[in-house]
């Protein structure tokens, strides 16, 4: 796409948003057809289409094949969260990254991991715990299960040199992933590792990935107190 085409759909996008914001088009209103808008704004129909698709993805418009396009009455706003490799997240904050492998052992998975990741109780898995540091302070405590059946190469990886997080990003692309966020209290063990006190509030990120239906990994990422995840909406 050239720079001028880019400006074009972007300016249609902005003009439509202006009409929504000034209530020229009110919530629930049907907006003009793409051809009409293209004529009004003096551009190609494809340009209008691109702009409207974007506005629908952003939650401002409801597009239905037969009913036409309406201004959302209850826009579901979407936040995009970037989930980078943890090393890059820390370095991106201008801090020095550090990493330590705490434990790596072949084990049969717990019933919880089996249920969540959809793997059999006889699966061959690697159980890994590690600590990620920012400027030498504990930043995130990672507890992870990796399926050796799905990713056999991980057995030969030197996980004391590269984190499982980073190794998996490089070697085990996934087709399906799942993420959730919640608040928990630090247990005695977690508090010791994160150098805080038991009962401190921790931000918990749980991630699972699959290659089609084969479970790759299930990770429990516990961030040290004070962690805030941030995004534009």
Return residues touching a copy of itself (CB under 8 A).
Answer: 1, 17, 20-21, 27, 49, 53, 60, 73-85, 88, 166, 169-170, 173, 175-185, 199, 201-204, 207, 209, 211, 225-233
Give 64 or 78: the residue with its C-beta nearer to a copy of itself: 78
Give 2 or 94: the residue with its C-beta nearer to a copy of itself: 2
What is the rounded radius of gyration, in angstroms, for the C-alpha atoms of the chain?
24
| Buried-exposed string 75-108: b where 16+ CB fall within 10 A, e elsewhere | eeeeeeeeeeebbebbeeeeeebbbebeebeeee
CB of 224 to a copy of itself, least distance (A): 11
Give the residues across from 147 on adjacent strands: 125
CB of 107 to a copy of itself, least distance (A): 26
How far apart CA 59 and CA 74 sit, in angstroms, is 9
CB of 145 to a copy of itself, least distance (A): 17
Count CB atoms within 10 A of the CB of residue 229. Answer: 12
Count CB atoms within 10 A of the CB of residue 193. Answer: 19
Give 80 or 136: the residue with its C-beta nearer to a copy of itself: 80
Q: Are 44 and 192 in contact (CB under 8 A)?
A: no
Give 26 or 106: the residue with its C-beta nearer to a copy of itself: 26
């Amino acid at each position: 796409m050239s720079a001028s085409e880019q400006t074009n759909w972007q300016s249609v996008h902005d003009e439509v948003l202006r009409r929504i914001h000034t209530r020229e088009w009110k919530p629930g209103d049907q907006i003009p057809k793409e051809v009409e808008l293209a004529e009004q704004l003096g551009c190609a129909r494809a340009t209008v289409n691109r702009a409207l698709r974007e506005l629908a993805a952003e939650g401002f418009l409801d597009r239905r094949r037969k009913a036409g396009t309406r201004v959302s009455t209850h826009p579901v706003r979407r936040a995009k969260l970037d989930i980078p490799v943890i090393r890059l997240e820390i370095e991106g904050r201008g801090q020095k990254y550090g990493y330590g492998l705490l434990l790596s052992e072949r084990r049969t998975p717990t019933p919880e991991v089996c249920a969540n990741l959809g793997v059999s109780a006889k699966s061959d898995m690697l159980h890994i715990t590690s600590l990620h540091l920012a400027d030498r302070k504990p930043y995130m405590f990672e507890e992870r299960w990796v399926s050796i059946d799905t990713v056999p190469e991980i057995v030969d990886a030197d996980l004391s040199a590269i984190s499982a997080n980073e190794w998996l990003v490089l070697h085990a692309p996934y087709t399906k992933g799942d993420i959730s966020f919640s608040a928990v209290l630090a247990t005695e063990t977690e508090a010791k590792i994160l150098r805080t006190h038991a009962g401190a509030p921790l931000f918990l990120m749980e991630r699972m990935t699959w290659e089609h239906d084969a479970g790759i990994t299930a990770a429990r990422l516990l961030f040290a107190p004070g962690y805030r995840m941030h995004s534009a909406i």
